[in-house]
Every structure is written in structure tokens, then in C-alpha cells.
Structure 1
Amino acid sequence: MKLSIIAASALAATASAFPLSMNLFKRDYKNSTEVVTTENHLIAAYAKPYALFQPQVFIVSMFYPEADVWLDGLDFVHNITIPGLSPYYPDIHCTTNYSICQVTTGEGEINAASTITALTLSPLFDLTESYFLIAGIAGGEPNYTTTGSVTFSKYAIQVALEYQIDSSELGAEAANWTTGYYAFGTTNQQDYPGNVYGSEVFELNENLLNRAYDLASNATLDPGSNATAAFRALYPDLKASSLPGVEKCDGLTSDSYFTGNVMGDYFDYFAKLMTNGSATYCATAQEDNASLEAFVRAAKFGLVDYERIIVMRTISDFARPPPSMADDVLYFFNEAEQAGSSPAFANIFNAGLPIVTDIISNWDTLYKNGSFKADNYVGDIFGTLGGTMDFGKKEFEI
């Protein structure tokens, strides 16, 4: 079935065409419209009283191989097109009873933010109780992960949002710098940013993360091929040379692919700097901070529950070369056959399915009313959603 919505004004007519089994109703909502007369400032809620779809789980993929493992593994039979999705990935897919849906954002930060914004603002979807599983592949740090491993993040850190000078042109003043990167509003690599844009760090619900981690830890993971094992064996790190496992550690977001020990060491330092020493960098990705920024903005107006988001990345390749290739990083990056993509894609489904199944199976008893509410701070570096941040500093220039 293909549902293409051209205009929101067609909602009422469209609703009559759907069966009662979809549980369509006009939900109650708090009207948060208020007029601040002293400033002539109107604040309005974006209400969705006639939303057709109220999924319990929404899977977020970034490109087609990540999406395919879900589309092949579950009974996605409905295709729904809404304005604002990627031209290359124009459809949301839902299972027979619409309890599980899937969207593909397109790769990179701009595509991710645009797609998630379009999804959360669509009048077709009531996402106030939905759980979101951002599930994709990533590069991995060999001291924490290996190819095929599964990571669950508490923090997402945007590392390329910095000043950058060609390292060959730094001059004598920066003789001890390791790269040409340094934080906004500073003049060196040691200082916390003096000014921020708001998307630099996001913190996620640790209780929900732990639930997903525990469930995934009992899953059977694809170990990869003999070639995968052979490449892992080039690393002296215990994690890198072992079979894939499930890890709790944090992800970096950058539209620029990076590799090598110098860049790895600096971004590891920067991740700790941005989180007051709390983050454990183990995975590299392109989209997570962009998606989370869109989710925070939606959560501010009650369109989603930010505490119901999980970020899971499986490792398709190493972010650093093995010692035998340390002097030829270009070869390592461009030509070396790591054979990690196949188990990484497979383990998106293998490790992600248990939490999806758990949410559906225990919806009424555990998930609907939020049994895994966060004890830790959740949200962005601005404190947009309230609470007391455990990273950052008291004041920034914005």
C-alpha cells in the first residue's frame, strides 16, 4: 500500500478511509498557546489532534544497507510519503499494524536534520509516546571495539564544529599542537569552547541505554568472515582482535571522514574536554548530533519524548590503522580490505531487534508509561529540556 499525502487539509477525508483497527482518534492535548502582552510574543504548540499513525517504535536508518536489514527482517508492508523526506529515500515504512515504522534520513548532518524535522512536524504522526532507535554503522576505536561490534552511546559529540588551520602552517606558536583543530572562542587546544552553537554535545537516557545494552548482550552476533578475523588479528588491542561484542561507549559526529592515530588521539581528547571527562569515544558517525538536534527541538514542544531515544552504532571499519600500516595510512584508508561491513550491517538487526521486540511485547507494562525514565541529565549543551547538565560550563557566548 502506498500512501502519499499532498496536503494536510486532506487529513479529514483521508481518515475515513482507514480501518478502525488503526485506533484513530482525536487525542487530548494541552493547548500551550499563550500571549505575552508585554512583548507581543505568541508561543504556539504544534498540535496533531488527528494523527493517523502512532507507532511504538521508530527505527532511524541513514542509508539503504542500514535500512535493508530491517525491511528484509520485519513485515514492513505500508509505504508512507510525507513532505520533507530525502528525495532519495522518500518513504516511511510501517509494519502491518503500524506499531513499528522505519525512516531513512540520507547520509550526512544536513540530510539527517532535515528528515527528522520533517518527520516530527508531520501532522500524520503522533510521536509523543514513540521510542526511537537510531541504528547505523560507524568507524571504531580498536582499544574499545572491533568490526561487527555493537555500541550504545550516552553522549554524542560533534567534533568537526571547531576552528581548523592546516597543520603545516601553524607556526612556532603552536609547535606542540597535534592537529590544526581547536575549539571556537579559544586560541589553543586546551580550553573549553568560548562560544557554542548548541549541537556540540547531547546526552541520552542512561536507563534506556542500559536496557537496550542488556538485551543486545544476549543476542547472537555475526562474527564476520575469515578475512574479517585476519584483519582484526593485525591489532594488538584485546578488543580489536577479539570477536564482536556489545559495548557502552560514545559516538562522534563529523561530516568529514577521518582516520589515523593523530586525529584519533585529538578527537578522543576533544570528546573528553566537551563532556568534562565523562565520554568514552569509541565510534565515528556522520549524523547523530544532527538527528538529536532535531529531536530536542521537537521535544521542547512536546512532539516527542527525548528520553525515548537510543543511539546504536555497529562497527564496520577501524578508525585507526594497525601498527603494520601506521606508515601508510592512505593505503589503510583507501585500499585495505577490513571485511567489516557485512557483520556490521547484520548486527544492526541482530542487536537492535531485541529492544524493538521488548518494547512491543512489554508496551503496556513497561514502555507506554515510561518505566525507564532517565535519572541522568538528558538533552543538549544549552539545557533546552531542563535539568542540571553534567557537562559544559555555566555561560557561553552564543
Structure 2
Amino acid sequence: MFRLMRILPILAAIILPLPSHAQTPPATDCAPGAPCSQPLPVRVVIVTMFEIGADTGDAPGEFQLWKERRKLDIRIPFPQGYHDLYYNPDSRILAMVTGVGTARSGTGVMALGLDPRFDLSHAYWLVAGIAGIDPQDASIGSAAWARYSVDGDLAHEIDAREIPKGWKSGFFPLDKQGPDDRSPPITEGRVFALNPKLTDWAYALTKDMKLPDDRGIAKERARYSGYPNAQKPPFVLMGDQLSAMTFWHGKLLTGWANDWVRYSTSGKGEFVTSAMEETGTLQAITYLDKIEKVDRDRVLVLRSGSNFSMPPPGVAAADYLLRENEGYAGMKASLESLYIVGSKVIDQLVGHWDRYEKAPPE
């Protein structure tokens, strides 16, 4: 009996499974892109676009807060993409950094979707990034859920110094005869509509949240006299996104962005945030959905304002843009807003997985 008592703890250690946090998922031992007998189950994919310096412990980019606070401690090599992936086996959250621009975001998301190491068939996707924000709609630090992402690159362009008299802009859609051509827009590959029921649900869940504020951004927004929404403390709103590779800035281009989004969505969309990557990300997801690797109806896009898309009254666009390039006024607040707003949605999805695995919330 004494010998049996001594042996039992040893047998228990061998037979009983380790706590989930101590286990290494089998899929992490599979080679990148190679067949994998036990794909990693994923409930949420967090899509970020860039990081500054190290992944932890220094000035954060879009990825760092998610990695640290969500305990995404398992690194998964991802040589076919821009940055290694990170995973939490308890929450089954996977996070990626696509790299900046549509080429990197599109190819990175496609590479992830086709990687046999991951089961993404029921995964929700949260694209979470900073953005320029239209002061007519919101203040820096505010977070906007997009209903539409519109491509701002597929176009004709004539230098503004050479445009015909009467043209509002030298930039107009492909297949059109000028900026005043209002024939029906071509939307395939240019306009991506998010699942409206899922987006409405996410907005309803977060619209009353109090977002981070500080003296720095309060001082900055006070400069925007005549723009009441820009002078408000940060808040959550619904607002659509223009995805373009050029980092544009100014009052005239903000007017162009509003016109472009309104025209491209047949008046249904409202430009609020400017970024670079979503049309690449959403195009990849659209293709992956066709072969049932992912579910396109489970995608959310959240962008928070790190900077305004135009200068305050009385300041030249070039002067303001060059100053912002030295450090966005709302960078810290926008990153915190992304995390706390996005986390509320993720907590709801993961916390009620028995319900939301089967179908998206409405």
C-alpha cells in the first residue's frame, strides 16, 4: 500500500492532462504552410498593420497592446508573411501584423487563410488600426466602426495644375470621363460592404463607452473652431473608411474623400477614416470565403483617429502634415481606444462562443 501511495502521484502526472495554459498546441509543431493533422482552432483573428520597434516593452504600435494584455504568448513562425503570428490557447485568439499597404495586407491575409495549420472556418476577424479622421465627423482618439471600405487607388489622375477649368479635382474613377461623370459606380474589387447586422451589433455594444482622453488631444481638438464633432472628447461612432496607398492630407483632399466614398457607395457611405490596408485585407477574405476557408460575414473593421485628415483653420496643409509626421497628436489615445473598444466585442464573442460559433450576432 505504501508503495502504491508513492506511485499514484507519478501515474497521475503521466495520465492527467496539463492545464490548458501549459500545453503547446500540436499545430505549432507543423511546418509553415505544410499539411497539419490537428489544425489550430481560432475564434478571433486580430489584424493589425504595424508595430514600432519590439513587440513588447517599448513605445507601442497597433500590435503591442493586444500581445501584452491578451497574453498572446505562443509565437508561431509565419515566414510567408510580414511578421510571426501570436496565439493564446485559452481564448483561441490569433493576432497578426500584416505590414503597411494593400499589397502586404492582401498577401498576408491570403497566406494565413491558406495555411493548413489553422482552422479559421468559424473565426471572427477584427481589423484594428489607427487612421486619419475627418474633423467634420469626430475627434482624434475616437473609434469608428466601418460599414464600407472603399478603394481610393484605382483611378485616373491629372495633376491639379493641369486640370480643365471647372473640374473640382484631377482624380476620378477608372472607366469614367471625368470627376463630374456620375454614371453608376463599378464596385467589384473597389467597394467592400461589411456585414451590416454584425457591425450594428458591435456599435450598439460599444457606443456608450468612455474613451481615453488627455490634455494633449484636448488642446489639439480645441484648435478646430467651427468643427463641433472635432472638439468633442473621443467617442465611438459608425463611419466608413477610404483605403488608399497615398498618405494624403488637407481640406481639399478631405472633401475629395467624402465625395469619393459617397459616390462609390451610391450615397450609402460616409467617409470618416483614412487608412491604407483594408481593401487588400477584404479582397483576400472575399476570395477565401469562396472556398469556405473563412466566413466573410464575420469581419469587423475598427479604426481610431490618431490624427486629423486636415489642418485646423488658419494652418497650411503642408505645415500641419510635416508636424504630424514627427508624431501623431492622438497616437496614444487612439491605440488605447482600439484596444478597449475592440476588446469589448472580443470578450462578448469568446465569452459566448457556444452561441456565436454557430452564427454571427445580430
In 2 relative to 1, CA 97–276 (structure 1 residues): closer, same or farther, beyond 3 Å? same
Total equivalences in the alignment: 325
Shift of 1:83: 4.2
- The equivalent residue for 1:61 is 48
Alignment correspondent of 1:146: 139
- Of 82, 92, 108, 1:99 maps to 92
Q: Does residue 313 in structure 1 map to residue 309 in structure 2?
A: no
CA-CA distance at 1:198 after TM superposition: 3.3
Maintained 8 Å contact 1:153/1:249: yes
Question: Retained in 2: the 8 A contact 1:61–1:102?
Answer: yes
Alignment partners' CA distance in 1, 2:284 and 2:113? 8
Task: Name the counterpart of 1:270.
Answer: 260
Q: 1:1-398 residue pairs with structure 2 within 5 A?
A: 3=28, 5-6=30-31, 11=36, 50-64=37-51, 65-86=61-82, 89=83, 91-97=84-90, 99-170=92-163, 174-192=164-182, 198-223=188-213, 225-235=214-224, 236-325=226-315, 328-335=316-323, 339-365=329-355, 367-372=356-361
Amino acid at match of 1:191: D
SS in 1 for 2:167: coil
Alpha-carbon distance between aligned partners in 1 of 2:32 and 2:135, rounded to the nearest angstrom = 49
Query: Aligned partner of 2:269: which letter?
Result: A
The one-letter code sitting in structure 2 at the alignment partner of 1:159 is: G
Q: Confirm or deny: 8 A CA contact 2:42 2:93 kept in the other structure.
A: yes
Query: How far did 1:96 drift?
Result: 3.1
Offset of 1:82 from its aligned partner?
3.1
Counterpart in the other structure of 2:5: none
Normalized against structure 2, the TM-score is what?
0.85
Q: Does the CA-based 8 Å contact 2:34-2:117 persist in structure 1?
A: no
Helix, strand or coil at the partner of 2:80: coil
Question: 2: CA distance between counterparts of 1:372 and 1:181?
Answer: 39
- Output the CA distance in 1 between the equivalents of 2:93 and 2:128: 14
User: Which stretches in structure 2 are left out of the alignment for 5+ residues?
Assistant: 1-23, 52-60
Q: CA deviation digits over 1:139-197, x for unaligned, max 9?
A: 00001111100000000001121001111112xxx211122101111221122578958
Runs of 4+ displaced beyond 6 Å: none
Cα drift, residue 220 of structure 1: 3.4
Aligned counterparts of 2:242 and 2:347: Cα–Cα separation in 1:
28
Q: What is the SS of the residue equivalent to 1:66?
A: coil
Give the alignment's TM-score, normalised by structure 1.
0.78
After TM superposition, the structure 1 stretch with the greater mean CA deviation from structure 2, 77-86 or 289-298, is 77-86
Query: Do the aligned residues in 1 keep the contact of 2:306 with 2:330 (CA within 8 Å)?
Result: yes
- 1:339 partner SS: coil
Q: Which runs of 5+ in 1 are unaligned?
A: 12-49, 374-398
**8 Å Cα contact 1:314/1:348 also seen in 2:** yes
Aligned-pair distance for 1:217?
A: 2.4
